[in-house]
Structure 1
Amino acid sequence: MQAAVRLSSLIALAVAAPAVVVPSAQAQTTPAPVDLKASLDRLLAASYSADAPGATIIVTKGGAPIYAGARGLADVEAGAPLTPDAVIRIGSITKQFTAAIVLQLVAEGKLSLDDTMGKFFPGYPAPGAAATVRQLLNHTSGIQSYTGIPGWMVAANTGRAFTTDQLIAEFRDKPAEFQPGERWNYNNSGYVLLGGIIEKVTGKPWYDAVQARIAGPLGLRTIRYGNPPTEADWARPYTRGAGGIGAAQAIDMSVPQAAGGLVGSVGDVAKWAQALHHGRVVRPDMYKQMIAPTRLNDGTVNPYGFGIANGWVRGVADLEHSGGIFGGSTDSLYVPSQDLFVAVFANTDAPQTRPGTVMRKAAAIALGKPYVELAPVTADVAAIEPMLGVYRIGGGPDERRFLARDGKLWIRRGSQAPSEVYFAGDGRFGLRGNSLTWFRVAAGEGGAYTMEMFQNGEEPGERAIRTGPVPPEAPAITLPRATLEGYVGKYALRIGEATVAFGAGDTLTLQISGQPAVALEATGPTEFRAARVGADITLDGKTLTIRQAGREVSGPRAQ
């Protein structure tokens, strides 16, 4: 359940004082080294407040827990704290379970990875009918993802129950995004269809297959379908809106279905990972295909396999997957060479710190390769000013812009949204918002400045050379209020409802549902920019178009 464009700036959120983390009886761990426990306690306390929705975490080595913790509240209204055993919506980590069952059925000869959609869904329109099971698994089917249909992800849809056939009908006749195998594009519809295939082959709901084939045999007590959320171990799902912390948007778990409809605890997902990666779930030849990168028709390779992606943490290869859903944000990784697993689950879709950031920091600590820790220091403006400018990356056409605006420092790559930067001394700069990314600027030979960017804190850094100052932006203009009034209203976008309204004076603001409003500056009669988030906006009275980070989303005026 992911959005294509998000109008949000990277703002670091304050956190409260540390709280003592006490694993519950069901999450007792083997003794961990004092320095590891102390380091992870500090990490958790620095990442989440004790008096707000928070997160749970587990770290295992060789399948044995070496750390389990929780920080924050499972029930804000009741003041009930999270425990490591809390059951949280795991979102798209569900896809691993769905993929594994499909591979089990392939191994049993009940279907083939090369079977086409048309075999299971007669009459499904082309070109989707020609997409194979394999292409559903690796997100190359080209079928329209229902979570990307403009205006679809509203409470009126997400809050009601669907049968599998009813949910498929929501996207079945939508135009394909591309021919099967032509491109890679993350696709929730593909996994709904896989859930439907499981149901047709097994004769039972996809989630019953999860229970019968995985959760039951492996003793995963908390891994279950998310309907209904009535058990005592359930952590309530939250979001953060203009009014502060509140209940997350309603979502019946028949909506995320086999793409994201499971719930569970970090401990049980750790047990699942240990079983999956040690041959106790799918046959070795099937597992090999599950974790293999995807090769497209033109030979291009994408790191995603079947419900799992290949990645890196501190230079060590890992296998990972995250999840995002109303009321939940999760991330997990497994390092095969170290038999190390880390998972962080938040019971909110607007966590103070992204679970993926905490997960990577925890994994780095466990690997003995902690990330560089930076802290803001008072900036020497005179010393920093010569460093600002355009930096060419690796001698190619790509560039980064390091600039000052509104008394703050920003870094921006190409058309991506700018990220606010803080000075950390000795030519080092960190990105705000609990980011792991940082960079160093130094004077090279001949006095030319070079920039070394450590994306996600990984080494070696990406090198760029300063080519000159940042060119001036197009000046803002003032439009008549009568013209602006023609743009005010609500617009239906696939990422949510967008509201254009008047801000201070004769200026407009844009707000996507669930996000803060951003100010718009007019640069032309129908052109605007949201400088704070690096987005360009077009309004013509009928349609709203947002271009941000190389992506574009449009939607019609709803009212």
Structure 2
Amino acid sequence: MKKKSTRPFRLAAVASLLVCASAMAVPTLPLDSPAIDQVFKAFTAETPGCALGLYQEGKLLYAKGYGLADLNHQVPIRPDTVFDIGSTSKQFTALAVLMLQAEGKLSLQDEVSKHLPELKGLKPAITLEQMLHHTAGLRDYNELLMLAGHFGEDVTTADDALQRLAAQRGLNFTPGARFSYSNSGYFLAALIVERVSGQSLDAFLQARVFQPLGMKATHVRSDHNQVVAHRASAYSPTEHGFAIDMSNWDQVGDGAVQTTVQDLALWDGELARPRVVDAKLLQAMQQPGRLNDGQATQYGLGLGVDNYRGLPRIQHSGAWGGYRAMFMRFPAQQLGLALTCNAGQANPLALSQQVVDIVLADQLAKPAELKRPAVADAAPAGFEPQRFEGVFFDAENSQLLKIKRGGDGQLKLQRGGSGGVLMALSAQAVQTKTGITTLTLSDDAQSLSVQRRDEAAPRPFKRLPAYQPQAADLAALVGHYRSAELDTQWQIRLQGQELQMKARNGQSSLTLQGRDLIEGENAVLTLRRDAKGALQGFVYDSDRSRGIVFERR
């Protein structure tokens, strides 16, 4: 970390405050600046940070910057600082599609290949509506480009992404069968807007949304070389301080909107009291999608639809490179919030909810109380933590989770690249510390039922037998593997006794969890063999990209 600055404008670098007089006339919003400041105390005159905006019916009640927009030049974050808002952009793409449907130029029921013939080979057919509701089953193009070997700092174009999607010969699931967040649908939706309207997504939105609303600093950035006035650089923490974390990918639709918390006040006002956009379109964006079986999701068209501590809420977060963002509205309270950050370590959802806890303290239900962690003198009767330890596999979704005891004796869950402490509920059940996920052990301890609050049904995970690979098992995997769909080659190699995967853009560790099951970083590789048992390759499965075949060379 740098030494503390002694420059005379250090206090100005901490924050730039703007409070409209209208805030004084709204007694229902008891804004407590010191309390809100405490939420953002980690962002200082030496770090990147965030800008916060609070709105009521489009009126900017409170706007403040915390931290620096540019570490090189010690430029403070202000309410007019421009940020990339990542996936928070999706609501504008969805609106553009709805506008074209209202004009009769397309329909949400259209098959995507009607407008993008490059995707005719992708079966079964998917609709625009399924894409926008994240129920199409499309593999995520961001992950596909990364799997193909691209770095974030590489220059990639819309054509690069479209070619990768057109080369895919499978979906993650039957369209409409489930919800799975995918950037591909919104990237493709932007291409469709451009082909149907004859305008770029930016030109379309400028003419119909941004300029009419007076959002002068807002635009869709499709050229990584474009100079953007007052734009914050993005950073992520490293062991040596902060490093620039920005991308040169030029796709739009799923992200790429550049804006400020001041401009987002105008958008919040439009959602509260439409004057430019047809109110029916805005209402449609806030209606949850439905699966083939009629089950409602918690996602509309470019906006999440849920509730927070008893209050209905619409929201969408964003993350791209080191940028983080959140847009949130509580319609009944007519409270809007926007948070834009250039700090990769920032958690926009958690930060936003802490602000809401302050502003709407007298209207929120009490948080659900969680059980205390299982300890020797407080464990439920019959609770034996060692019965939960092991590796469990969900074959249908190709997901692994591991449970083990840490040095402090507490059970800990690892799933993909994340994990945390588990808290005992009973002899057979544990819960994540957040309370979002409950894991119930079968009587014979050979399976787990994993239930998330936001999922209708639990997922079954079967215990994998203990497996200790021999040196010959590891050596047999060494070689080169190619994916035709990604047009890329990976190498599995041994570094001492560690199995590693090497691709153009880096390497990662692999763990053999069974004869034909390899655990990677946020993915599972299932080995494929011929009738005689000879290794032919593997299938790559992750949350957002499933069924990608690699053949052994």
Q: 1:367 to 1:516 in 2, by over 3 A?
A: farther
Q: Does 1:38 align with 2:20?
A: no
Q: Does 1:358 align with 2:359?
A: no
User: What's the CA shift string for 1:54-91, capped at 9, x where partnerless?
Assistant: 22222223333333233332222333332232211111
Give the match for residue 480 of structure 1: 471
Give the match for residue 102 of structure 1: 97
Whole-Å separation in 1 of the counterparts to 2:374 and 2:167? 56
* 8 Å CA contact retained: 1:238, 1:248: yes
* Two-structure CA RMSD over aligned residues (Å): 4.9
Give the match for residue 233 of structure 1: 230
Q: How does 1:443-482 map to 2 (within 5 A)?
A: 455=434, 477=468, 479-480=470-471
Q: Which runs of 5+ in 1 are unaligned?
A: 1-15, 392-396, 422-428, 430-438
Give the match for residue 459 of structure 2: none
Q: How does 1:294-305 map to 2 (within 5 A)?
A: 294-305=289-300
* 8 Å CA contact retained: 1:491, 1:556: yes
Q: 1:298 to 1:465 in 2, by over 3 A?
A: closer
Give the match for residue 23 of structure 1: 16
User: What's the CA shift string for 1:409-464, capped at 9, x where partnerless?
Assistant: 34439x6777333xxxxxxx8xxxxxxxxx6x578xxxx6976767468xxx9797
Give the match for residue 531 of structure 2: none
Count of matched residue positions in the alignment of Structure 1 and Structure 2: 499
* 8 Å CA contact retained: 2:52, 2:65: yes
User: What's the CA shift string for 1:512-534, capped at 9, x where partnerless?
Assistant: 9999976x66555665668xx89
Q: How does 1:341-490 map to 2 (within 5 A)?
A: 341-348=336-343, 351-368=344-361, 369=364, 383=378, 389=385, 404-407=405-408, 409-412=410-413, 419-421=419-421, 455=434, 477=468, 479-480=470-471, 483=474, 487=478
Question: Which one of the candidate residues 65, 77, 80 is aligned to 1:85?
Answer: 80
Give the match for residue 57 of structure 1: 52
* 8 Å CA contact retained: 2:152, 2:247: no
TM-score by length of 1: 0.71
User: What's the CA shift string for 1:2-22, capped at 9, x where partnerless?
Assistant: xxxxxxxxxxxxxx9x98853
Deviation larger for 295-304 or 539-548: 539-548
Letter in 1 for 2:413: R
Whole-Å separation in 2 of the counterparts to 1:370 and 1:465? 31
* Partner SS, residue 294 of structure 1: coil
Whole-Å separation in 2 of the counterparts to 1:516 and 1:382? 44
Q: How does 1:249-260 map to 2 (within 5 A)?
A: 249-253=246-250, 255=251, 257-260=252-255
Q: Does 1:175 align with 2:178?
A: no
User: What's the CA shift string for 1:466-519, capped at 9, x where partnerless?
Assistant: 97989998657474399459649999898x99997777x74456799999976x
Whole-Å separation in 1 of the counterparts to 2:20 and 2:210? 17
Q: CA deviation at 1:342?
A: 1.8
Letter in 1 for 2:169: P
Letter in 1 for 2:182: N
Q: 1:267 to 1:513 in 2, by over 3 A?
A: farther
* 8 Å CA contact retained: 2:500, 2:507: no
Whole-Å separation in 2 of the counterparts to 1:38 and 1:370? 23
Letter in 1 for 2:132: L
Whole-Å separation in 1 of the counterparts to 2:316 and 2:502? 29
Whole-Å separation in 2 of the counterparts to 1:78 and 1:196? 37
Letter in 1 for 2:93: T
Q: 1:337 to 1:128 in 2, by over 3 A?
A: farther
Q: Does 1:326 align with 2:321?
A: yes
Question: Which one of the candidate residues 63, 67, 76 is aligned to 1:72?
Answer: 67
TM-score by length of 2: 0.72
* Partner SS, residue 140 of structure 1: coil
* 8 Å CA contact retained: 1:295, 1:302: yes
User: What's the CA shift string for 1:198-251, capped at 9, x where partnerless?
Assistant: 223332211111111111011112211223452341101233467653222532
Whole-Å separation in 2 of the counterparts to 1:129 and 1:490? 27
Using the aligned pairs only, state the percent identity. Answer: 23
Q: CA deviation at 1:44?
A: 1.0
Letter in 2 for 1:291: Q
Letter in 1 for 2:249: D
* Partner SS, residue 40 of structure 2: helix
Whole-Å separation in 1 of the counterparts to 2:289 and 2:365? 31
Letter in 2 for 1:234: R
* Partner SS, residue 189 of structure 1: helix
Whole-Å separation in 1 of the counterparts to 2:205 and 2:186? 14
* 8 Å CA contact retained: 1:451, 1:466: no
Question: Which one of the candidate residues 176, 183, 187 is aligned to 2:182?
Answer: 187
* 8 Å CA contact retained: 2:212, 2:276: no
* 8 Å CA contact retained: 1:237, 1:347: yes
Whole-Å separation in 1 of the counterparts to 2:189 and 2:102? 16
Q: Which runs of 5+ in 2 are unaligned?
A: 5-9, 389-393, 395-400, 448-462, 529-534
* 8 Å CA contact retained: 2:412, 2:419: yes
* 8 Å CA contact retained: 1:58, 1:267: yes
* Partner SS, residue 338 of structure 2: strand
Whole-Å separation in 2 of the counterparts to 1:511 and 1:315? 48
Whole-Å separation in 2 of the counterparts to 1:558 and 1:55? 47
Question: Which one of the candidate residues 307, 316, 334 is aligned to 1:312?
Answer: 307
Whole-Å separation in 2 of the counterparts to 1:186 and 1:235? 27
